[in-house]
Each structure stands twice: as C-alpha cells, then as structure tokens.
Amino acid sequence: MAAARDLQARLTKPAGSLGALEELSVRLSGLAGTCPPPRPTPATVAVFAGDHGVHAQGVTPWPQEVTAQMVANFVAGGAVVNAFARQVGADVMVVDVGVGVPLHGGATLLDANIRRGTRDLSVGPALTRDEALAAVEVGIGVARALVASGAKCLITGDMGIANTTPAAALTAVFTATDPALATGRGTGIDDAMLEHKVDVVRRALALHRPDPADPLGVLATVGGLEHAALTGFILGAAALRIPVVVDGVIAGSAALAAAAFAPDAVAAMVAGHRSAEPGASVALAHLGLEPLLDLGMRLGEGSGAALALPVVEAAVRVLHEVATFDSAGVSEK
Amino acid sequence: MAAARDLQARLTKPAGSLGALEELSVRLSGLAGTCPPPRPTPATVAVFAGDHGVHAQGVTPWPQEVTAQMVANFVAGGAVVNAFARQVGADVMVVDVGVGVPLHGGATLLDANIRRGTRDLSVGPALTRDEALAAVEVGIGVARALVASGAKCLITGDMGIANTTPAAALTAVFTATDPALATGRGTGIDDAMLEHKVDVVRRALALHRPDPADPLGVLATVGGLEHAALTGFILGAAALRIPVVVDGVIAGSAALAAAAFAPDAVAAMVAGHRSAEPGASVALAHLGLEPLLDLGMRLGEGSGAALALPVVEAAVRVLHEVATFDSAGVSEK
C-alpha cells in the first residue's frame, strides 16, 4: 500500500486529484500484495437466487413466481444486469440456491438448490444451521470456481422476491439498528405495507433473539439462502484476495455476515453503489465503506455493482498506464 | 420523452428502480427525438488547452510551462484522461486554442491557436471580443467535425495552468455568486494562496463589471481561450442534438456561458461528475443538473466526464436491451 501511495504521488496529476480512486487503488494494492494491483478483468457477476417463506406475510406486492421468471430472464440475457454486464465486459452466472420451483436453465445456470425457499422467518427459523452452512459453502465454492477459471474480480448479484425483508433483519442484527431504520420499500411498497414489513422484522427479531456473535445462527434464523450464499461468496473472494464488488441491500447484509465471520474480509469488499434502500447505507456505514456510485438505484440483481466495475478498473488503470512526472518530462510545482 | 417513460415502465424491473439512469434515458430520448435514443458511442474527449496571463498574479504554484508539457503528455497517451478514454472506448483529441508556446504534435493535436495565452484579466480584458468569438467558433467547429466523422457523444476536456481562476470569475458572474464561494483550490493551493486567488477574482469583477446578459463580453473580459472554445463546443453539440458530457469546474463555467448564449443548450448537457472544486457545484446547481459521479475528483482534463461515459451508455442500453414484462413472461405486481 505504501508503494501504491508513492506511485500515486509521482503520476502526472496533482496529488489527491483523483479522490476516491486513489484510495481505492491503494486498498486494491494492499489486497493483492502488489503494486500496481492486477486489473479487475475478467469479472463475473454471480446472481444467487432464492425464495422466502416470509412472502406469505404480505411484505411485497410481487408474486413469488417472479423469482423463477426473472432467473429465466437472466439466463436469456434480458435483464438489466445482463445489459450492464455485457457493457462492462463481465460474465453473468446464475446460481439457484433456493428458488421455490425446479428450474431448467442453460450453461449459465448452476443448480445448487438447498431447499425450495426458506421457511417463514416470522414464525420460526428460516433455515436450519446445516442449511445455512450449506448455502455459505455454495457461495464459497462459486467464488473458488470462478477465480480458478480466471476471474480477477467478483460481483455480487441476487434475486428473490421478498428478500429485502431478511436483509433488513440481518442488517438490524449485525449493526444493532432499529428495524425501522434498516427496512426499506424494496421494489416500491406503500406506507402501510412498509409499516407492516417493519413489524414483521421486529417480531422475527423478538422471536429468535439472534446473537450477532453467531453469524451462522443469524443467517439461519432470519436470513435467506441467497444471503447465506453471498456471505460465502464474499468470504471466498476475500480468502483468495480477489476484490468483490458489493451491490445493494441484499449484498450489504451478506457483507455484514461475512465481516462477522471474518473481520478481515472487509479488505476485499468494494462498495459498488449506494442503494436507495436505507438498510444498504446502514450496512456500508457499519463496514466503513464508501460507495463508488450514488445514482438512486434500488434494483438489485447486481446491477449497481456491475455498473461500478468501470470505476474499479479506472482506479487500477491509473497505476498501470499514467506517466510519471519524470517519464513525461512534466515539471512539478 | 413520453415514449421513453412508457418503455421504462414496461421493462422487467420495478418502476423507478434505476433512479437517475431512468431520468437520463428520458432526457436523451428527448434530445435525440427518438426512443430509444442512439447509443453514445463512439465518443470523443476534446481537450482544449490554453494559457493564462493571470498566472503572473501567483494564483497557482505550478509553472506555466506545464500546460504545454501536459499537451505533449496527452498526445503521447500518458495522462489520466488517456487511460480513462482507452478504457471506456473514447478517442482523445487535443486542441491548442491558446497555449503560450508553439506546439509540435501528432494527428491527435489540432492547431487552432488564437493567441499565445490570454492577457492578465486582473489588469485588463483577457481577450478582445473578436478573440473570444474566434475561440467560441473553434469549439463549434470541433464539435461539428467530430459529429460529422461519427461521434455520437462529445466529452469536454481542458488543460491550462491557472485556468480555475477565470473559471471562478465566469461562474461568479453567470450565477451571481460571491467569488469566495465560486473559487477553489484548483490543483491544491494553501489557504493564503486561496485568499489571494479570491481577491484576484474579486478585483477582476470590480474592474470589468461584466454583464451576464452579454456572454461574449464576459468570456472576453474574465474568461480564457479554452473556456470560450468549450462554450462553443457545448453549443455545437446542442445544435446537433448530440449529448455532451460536462467535466468539472472549467467545463461547468463554459456550460454557464453556453446556457447564457442559448438556454436550450442545457438539454444536451450531461453532468459527468461532481468535481471537488466548489465552483463546479455552483455551476451545476444553476444549470439544474445532477452529476452522475461524485468521487471527489478535481483533475480536469475531461477525466471525470470520460469516467461517466459508461453510466451514460448504461442508461441508453437499458432501453435498447432489457426485456419487457410481456416479452420475458414475467408477472407484474
């Protein structure tokens, strides 16, 4: 990291004039243990998909079948995350870790289904500890496989109708925040449904009293299968010292779980954007991460993180490509 | 624009979930008069370079010779804007509109020098009206030539040691803002030099009393050759209904001048980023533009605007590529 700071100071630009890009380049040099760090390409967005028993509580106006329909849309290349990934040169891989119905996909759909949706976390544990652990291991395995096949940057994606409810519960537990501040409108719910959603989260936390020092227990009682898999995905990237671009409120809650398992994992996290979901900002503040983009997006799928990849790449490129004052014959002040 | 709003509502994502990208896609549809609007590629960054007589007042610690040295660095491809442009697939063209010494460049350097640096705006007009007009016409001509050769998006770039001083003066005049609020640290000056720089701007405005209703007079008295050329560049893009991504504080001051000439020109402007220079935010607020990126950058060269190109492209791609609920067989809420 000292080498990266020193190099930044010698490049043909005023010191500090690249703002957040300079700090990011230093962090990525530290993560890789080299300066300049490797370019973050090729990159892959892994979209972990799952369904949620808490859907029965009426926390979203969208029917549960949309999860499977959107997985088909991802596989067909028709979703926003596909368009953004194509643009930035990233691959998209879809991982069924907990969709409610059997899926028939192509080469880009990995069947790692652990169960066909979680149980309703407002009346009992969403998952057994074994199920949660299995999902974490799916995520670690996906990270390992992608890096083994050449990925230099991983990007978190998610799909699961009702999945902002477990994300709110996870975020409230790991950051000790009131559920009213960690719960948002997700796909766009009205005031009455938001109040109900907060109440569902509050009752779940009262029922389970999850212990933030036991992240597996938290994921099992109030999490989701894609949340647990994303936790493993982030841990896998961190263990391999590969940057992982964190998307929005689902990924943020998984990042909190990952940090609860292994605080050092934060070093591998790059906050892609500031989701409009309030829980995302609660998570990023707790992790001490500043997002690269702030465009009022709240789609999920990994869309915001995919769109941040060019910024990550730019931060690294500067160290690879920009001339120094010496090499360019430019006078210093 | 209505067609773009209607299409956004039918795409497979919750309404409004792409935040600022949706509004941008609607604006670009309106600018082009088609939905979806053309993709903003290929794009070119035009870096207008000039020197400044006000350098003699000690408003920057950098020697004036750095302007010409950095032009050589741009031509050689070694500057930050070159690295970012390569990454996002944009070309870089350098236009000498007022550098203090003769330059010898290659195919990417256009010699359109009007005079070898401005006069000192703190003791007299920086330019004659004819010189300012000639610079505006250079900018219009560059925009026309680039669009004629296929550019679908123009990106503003600038280089000129001391050029944040005229930018502050222009911004103060066009927005009726106190110079203390429109003047920043540029490449990174200390408190004493900043106080002096504000005083230089204040004295210049008291000397010339420029009339914001006479934008050519403002550019001539307190502007710079690259500021005037950028004004024309923006006007040229707007006249051709081509989006122009506005970089930082220099481009922002030129955008104010362009809007003073032709208020409708704002429709073609896309604010690439929020520069750390305070004058840039003053200009954007006056123009009613929200920046796409906010990374604490303050380099100039067009670097922030170039880095915003992928966001502009993403906003357009969504309208071209994302499936509708109908076409993808996804249920609506």
Residues A11 and A78 in one domain: no
- Return per-residue pLDDT of chain B as tens, 333 residues: 999 999 999 999 999 999 999 999 999 999 999 999 999 999 999 999 999 999 999 999 999 999 999 999 999 999 999 999 999 999 999 999 999 999 987 788 999 999 999 999 999 999 999 999 999 999 999 999 999 999 999 999 999 999 999 999 999 999 999 999 999 998 889 999 999 999 999 999 999 999 999 999 999 999 999 999 999 999 999 999 999 999 999 999 999 999 999 999 999 999 999 999 999 999 999 999 999 999 999 999 999 999 999 999 999 999 999 999 999 999 988
Are B144 and B204 found together in one domain?
yes
A171 and A256 assigned to the same domain = yes
Tell me, yes or no, if A9 comes closer than 8 A to chain B by beta carbon: no
Domain-located, residue B67: yes
Q: Verify that A142 and A66 share a domain, yes or no.
A: yes
Reading the block at residue B152, the tokens are: 């679908």
Among A13, A84, A187, select the one facing B14 at the smallest CB separation: A187
Nearest Cα residue to B300 out of B195, B163, B115: B163
Contact criterion met (CB < 8 Å) for A65 and B331: yes
Q: Are A270 and A37 in contact (CB under 8 A)?
A: no
Q: Looking at the structure, tell me whether residues B324 and B309 fall in a common domain.
A: no
Do A12 and A55 share a domain, yes or no?
no
The answer to the question of residue A333 being in a domain is no
Residue B333 lies inside a defined structural domain of this protein: no
Rg, Å, chain B Cα set: 20
Q: In chain B, whose CA is at the least distance from the CA of A273?
A: B293
Chain segment A56-102, per-residue pLDDT in tens: 999 999 999 999 999 999 999 999 999 999 999 999 999 999 999 99
Pairwise CB contact (< 8 Å): B323 & A21: no
| Chain B residues inside the 8 Å CB shell of A69 | 328-331
CATH of the domain at B106: 3.40.50.10210
**Contact residues, chain B, for A331 at CB < 8 Å:** 62-63, 65-66, 69
Q: Strand A109-111 vs strand A90-98: parallel, antiparallel, or unpaired?
A: parallel
B49 and B20 part of one domain: no
Q: Which of residues 59-88 of B touch A (CB under 8 A)?
A: 60-63, 65-66, 69-70, 72-73, 76, 78-80, 82-84, 86-88
Q: Check whether residue B80 and residue B20 sit in a common domain.
A: no
Q: B28 and B138: one domain? A: no
Residues A225 and A181 occupy one common structural domain: yes
Which 8-state DSSP code applies to residue B276? S
Nearest residue of B to residue A39 by CA position? B87
How many independent structural domains does chain A possess? Answer: 2
Instruction: Determine, for residues B84 and A19 on separate chains, whether the beta-carbon distance falls below 8 Å.
Output: no
Q: Are residues A8 and A50 in the same domain?
A: no
Domain containing A6 equals: 2-36+320-328
Q: How far is B86 from chain A (nearest CA, A)?
A: 10
Smallest Cβ–Cβ distance between B295 and the set A13, A20, A76 belongs to A20
Those residues of chain A that have pLDDT short of 70 are: none
Interatomic CA distance for residues A188 and B26, integer angstroms: 20
Same domain, A238 and A303: yes
Helix spans in A149-222 (H)? 164-175, 179-182, 191-208, 215-222
Closest CA to A67 of A36, A31, A95: A95
Please name the residues in contact with B34: beta carbons below 8 A apart, sequence gap of 6 or more.
none
